[in-house]
Amino acid sequence: MPASSAEAAEAPGQAKASAAAASGPGELVCPVTGSVASIEQMADPVFSSKCMGDGLCITPAPSADTVVAPADATATVTMPASNHAVGLTLDNGMELLIHVGIDTVAMGGDRFTCSVKQGDRVRAGQKLLTFSQEKICAAGHPTDVAFVVSAPGSAKAIAFTTGVEAQAGETSVVSYQA
């Protein structure tokens, strides 16, 4: 059974990534294929200290190069100069940050491509950005991806599933009550 910070189970097969009815459960799917651990495992203290919010550290699988939307949301933050991160806001007000690598802003967008712009409505599983792990490593940076709930909105009982190998856009890694 995967470890988790609360009672959270991985749903097999297709995840229900869209926000559920106002009082029902909701879940977020993994934004990148890889190994999921607690945010405390992130080598960057800005993330591991949870000052940006609680969340997950995802070590991308060797062939992973795409970040997808973990739920239906609005892209509220993009980084046009570096394309290394994206912020999303769900309809329930939950704010998410997906940040690829550590100190990758210093790469100036080299081999990062953002597929959305601020204000775009995105669907669960939709491609948000692509990156080159090879280029990140060559620049001397770790490739871990921070997946952070920076504000809960109206969500309660947020639980993070860790200790699993997750598929981008398929594996549920966050559950909450709307």
Let me know if 84 is a catalytic residue. no
Catalytic residue among 47, 99, 107, 162: 99
For the chain, first and last CA: distance in Å?
25
Instruction: Retrieve residue 49's tokens.
Output: 């200290």
Spatial CB neighbours of 10, under 8 Å, sequence gap ≥ 6: 2, 161, 164, 166, 171, 172, 173
Whole-number Å distance between alpha carbons of 66 and 132: 9
Whole-number Å distance between alpha carbons of 85 and 79: 6
Q: Residues with catalytic annotation?
A: 99
